[in-house]
Amino acid sequence: MRRVTFFLLVVILWATHSFSQQSQVSPQTARQALIEMFFSKTAGTFVKHLPAATRTALEKSAALANLQQYSLLLSQLQAQSQNIQTFEAGSVILAGEDPKTGQKVEITVENDALNGDQDDIELSFQVYKNGQVQRTPFMPQMTFSMKKETQLWTLNEISITLHLPLADKDLLKALTDNMKPQGETHATLTARSETPAPTAGADALVVAAMRSILTAEVTYASTYPNVGFTCTLSNLDGFGGGVPNERQAMLINSGLASGKRYGYVFTLSECNGTPATGYHLTAVPNRNGLGGKAYCSDQAGVIRSSEDGNAAACMASGGPVQ
C-alpha cells in the first residue's frame, strides 16, 4: 500500500511540474518584438509595437487608419514571401534571397545593449550576388531603440548612421564618374538636363517606371473609390508630408510624377466617368527624331510597345513587352 501511495505521489508531482512548465510562457524579448513588428505575417503587429503616445497622436489625426492599411499590406507581403527568414537568436536577424536575380540580403545584429526596460539593437546590412559580397562605399547602420511599455516592447526611436570613407576607391570612382565635363556652358547643361535623350538600357527603366505607375493606379483607385483612376500624375506624387490624400497620394516618387524620366514623357489620359473605371498610360521619347520605342498600357496592366515611337500606334496595335 505504501508503494502504491508513493507511486501516486510521484505521478502527481510530475504532472504538476509538467503543467507548471507548460503554463509558463517566456516573456517576449525586444528582438522578438522587432521581428514581429516588421516581419510578422499577422496583420496589426506593426501598430501594436508603436509607443502609446504615438498611437494616440495618430488616432487623433486620423492617420492611424492609413497606418493600419500599411500594416495589413506588410503582413500580406510577408505571407506571400517564400524566401525571407528571421532568426530570434544568433548574429543574423534576417536573411532574404531573390532566386531570379541571385541576390541575397542579410541583416546582422552588430550590438544588442539591454539595459532594464530599454534595449538598443544595432543592425548592419550586407548584400550578396551569386555568393559574392557586393561592395559599396556607403555602409549604413540602424539602431532600433526598444522600450518596454506595460510589459510590451515598443519601438521608441530609430537612429541611422552612414559611414562615408572618403578614401574608398569605389566611392572615389562613383564621384569622379559623375563629375560634369569641363568646358560646357551652363545653358548647354541645362538644355541637356531638361530634354534628355533615351539611353542604352532605358527600355528596362521605362518598363519599370510603367509598372510603378500601373501599381500606383490600382492602389489609388482602391483608396479613393469615389474618384477611381486618375489621369493626373501629380496626384500619385510621393513628395511632402502629412496624410496622403487624393491630390497627393504618395505612391510614386516626384521625379516620375513630373512626367519626364529616362528620356521619356509619361502621360495619363482617357479617365472617363465618375468614378473613372479606365485610363491610358503612354511613354514616348522626349526628343523627336532620336528614335526609341513607344510604350503603352491601360487598366488591364499589360505593357505593350511600338517600334515607331508613336503612342497612338502603340495603343492600337502595340505588341506585348516580354
Give dist(CA 72, CA 42) in Å, integer.
8
Mean of pLDDT values over 44-57: 83
The domain made up of 30-163 has a fold known as Nuclear Transport Factor 2; Chain: A, (3.10.450)
Domain boundaries, the chain: 30-163, 197-320
Lookup result for grid cell 514623357: 265
The answer for residues whose C-beta is within 8 angstroms of residue 99's C-beta and 6 or more apart is 83
Angle, CA of 193, 298 and 303, to the nearest 5°: 65
The pLDDT score that the predictor gives to residue 99 is 72
Q: What average pLDDT does the structure give for the chain?
A: 77
Q: Is 106 exposed, middle or buried (0-12, 13-18, 19+ CB in 10 A)?
A: middle
Give dist(CA 233, CA 300) in Å, integer.
18
Q: What is the pLDDT of residues 164-219, one digit of tens each?
A: 677 766 666 656 765 555 444 444 444 444 444 444 456 888 999 999 999 999 99
pTM assigned to the model: 0.46
306 pLDDT higher than 50? yes
CA 295, chain centre distance (Å) = 25
136 pLDDT higher than 80? no
